[in-house]
Amino acid sequence: MEHLEQNRARRQEILELARPDLEKYQLKSLNRLLATVLPQNQFYREKFGTHSLQLSSLSEWASMPMSHKSDWLGSDPSGVAVHHTFASEPYQNNSAYRRYHRTSGTRGRPMVILDTQQDWNWWIETWQYVLDACGIKPSDRILMAFSFGPFIGFWSAHDACLSRGCMVIPSGGMSTAARIDMILAAQPTVLFSTPSYAMHLAQDALDRGIDLSKSAIKKVFVAGEPGGSVPAIRDQIHRMYGAEVMDHAGATEIGPWGFGSKDGKALHVIESEFIAEFIPAVGRSHEDEGIFELVITSLGRVGAPVLRYRTGDLVRPVQVDNPSCRFVRLEGGVLGRVDDMLVVRGVNVFPSSIDAILRSFPDVSDYRLTVTKTNALDELVLEFERANSLATDSERKLLANAISEKLSVQLNLRFQVIEVLTGTLPRSDGKAKRIFDRRG
């Protein structure tokens, strides 16, 4: 316990570093990483044109080449990304790699990312910043409502919570009904899930006459998709569980890079372990809105180095001189992705904006937006399921009209809003896909 408290105090000291001191800390870590990686890593040696690089300032780093996921995707049928340091024979018996994970492949072919034991230890230590922010204690019992597979999911969170001394209750492969029974039987104090699945789980429980706000759950920790830093979504999860809601951001290829702010309206980049840069989103005019693409360097990952990686995440960075946390703040969390943002009739539409509007209606349990084109005109069809299946025809019409009006006012677009039968729309305990662009 004393060791845990000492480490927590050290992390708090780093959180409170003034910007110049934090940048010195980052530069030292970066130079140490480069000295280890470049002599052995063919991908980055060729990209940077050198096997030896030591920097005198972070401004020099900003002039180095960036990487993109497409750069890492090789032709090897195994799917192993080409930027690995020990990539010549990653599956050989004496390989340095111990962890195998794969991206979800929702934007293309799945990519395999391998971690050494040292890198995995870095994941676990970095996660402690996230658990600190969420107030997770060794006495907590954690229910992981996630289907554990090769996708990174909550694997690292699982190990980080064990490292902290918590009891961890896995529920991979269980149905929603079985997870509800597990909540009642095991009495977890913290739920880990995606935002959408947390809401589905609570609504399914209500449909069975079970109010999870009366369960032992005191904190709901969400990740895997935008929403945890969107007030409307947070408020709905809070009402359903009567619990504190905390957001997190991370990725298989990057690491656990962000934790939710105290006010619940933003994410902080863990700048002791990551260098965050912000560039204009290519082909988009977000600069006037303060929205940029996030570029990240992971400072503790040797086996699968992440050096100036374009994440594709759209964020609104703000430097706030908060004495208790000086890490950069991303207002609204991850607002969307460069490749997810829709341009409909000349209007930029972010998935997080659609989600926030729909979650402001407590009677909406799930939805799906489809964009099509008819005679050169974009059409938007919004299907939604109602939580209260006993509503009258008049109540159904009023809700559909209210949703249509709010979407029109806030997004300046016309939507066709249709209520569908409960259970019509697909469910997932992983990343939920609710927006489909069928314009070809």
374-420, pLDDT tens digit by residue? 766 788 999 999 877 678 888 888 999 999 999 988 887 889 999 99
% of the chain with per-residue pLDDT over 90: 56
Q: Is the pLDDT of residue 225 over 80?
A: no
Interval 282-294 mean pLDDT: 69
How far is 88 from 142, CA to CA, in rounded Å?
Answer: 39
Q: Is the pLDDT of residue 335 over 90?
A: no
Question: Average pLDDT, whole number, for the chain?
Answer: 88
SS3 readout for the chain: CHHHHHHHHHHHHHHCCCHHHHHHHHHHHHHHHHHHHCCCCHHHHHHHCCCCCCCCCHHHHCCCCCECHHHHCCCCCCCECCCCCCCCCCCCCCCCEEEEEECCCCCCCCCEEEEEHHHHHHHHHHHHHHHHHHCCCCCCEEEECCCCCCCCCCHHHHHHHHHHCCEEEECCCCCHHHHHHHHHHHCCCEEEECHHHHHHHHHHHHHCCCCHHHCCCCEEEECCCCCCCCHHHHHHHHHHHCCEEEEEEEECCCEEEEEECCCCCEEEECCCCEEEEEECCCCCCCHHHCCEEEEEEECCCCCCCCCCEEEEEEECEECCCECCECCCEEECCCCEECCCCEEECCEEECHHHHHHHHHCCCCEEEEEEEEEEECCEEEEEEEEEECCCCCCHHHHHHHHHHHHHHHHHHHCCCCEEEEECCCCCCCCCCCCCCEEECCC
The predicted pLDDT at position 58 comes to: 96
The predicted pLDDT at position 233 comes to: 84
Q: Is the pLDDT of residue 114 over 60?
A: yes
The predicted pLDDT at position 87 comes to: 63
The predicted pLDDT at position 208 comes to: 93
Where is average pLDDT lowest: 49-63, 243-257, 410-424? Answer: 410-424
Interval 124-135 mean pLDDT: 95
Q: Which class is domain 342-437?
A: alpha beta
Please report where in the chains the tokens 């960075």 appear, as a residue.
Answer: 317
Confidence of residue 106 (pLDDT cuts 50, 70, 90): very low
Q: Is the pLDDT of residue 126 over 80?
A: yes
Radius of gyration of the chain (CA): 22
Higher-pLDDT residue of 282, 414: 414
pLDDT digits (tens, 9 = 90+) for 18-58: 999 999 999 999 999 999 999 999 999 999 999 999 999 99
The predicted pLDDT at position 86 comes to: 84
Highest mean pLDDT among 114-128, 195-209, 359-373, 401-415: 114-128
- For the chain, the domains span 1-338, 342-437
Confidence of residue 200 (pLDDT cuts 50, 70, 90): confident
**Whole-model pTM above 0.85?**
no
The predicted pLDDT at position 262 comes to: 87
% of the chain with per-residue pLDDT over 70: 92
Where is average pLDDT lowest: 229-233, 312-316, 403-407? Answer: 229-233
Q: Strands 292-298 and 309-315, how do they pair? A: antiparallel
The predicted pLDDT at position 286 comes to: 47
Q: State the virtual CA torsion across 280, 224, 269, 435 in degrees, nearest 10.
A: 20
Q: What is the CATH number of domain 1-338?
A: 3.40.50.12780
Confidence of residue 354 (pLDDT cuts 50, 70, 90): confident
The predicted pLDDT at position 346 comes to: 65
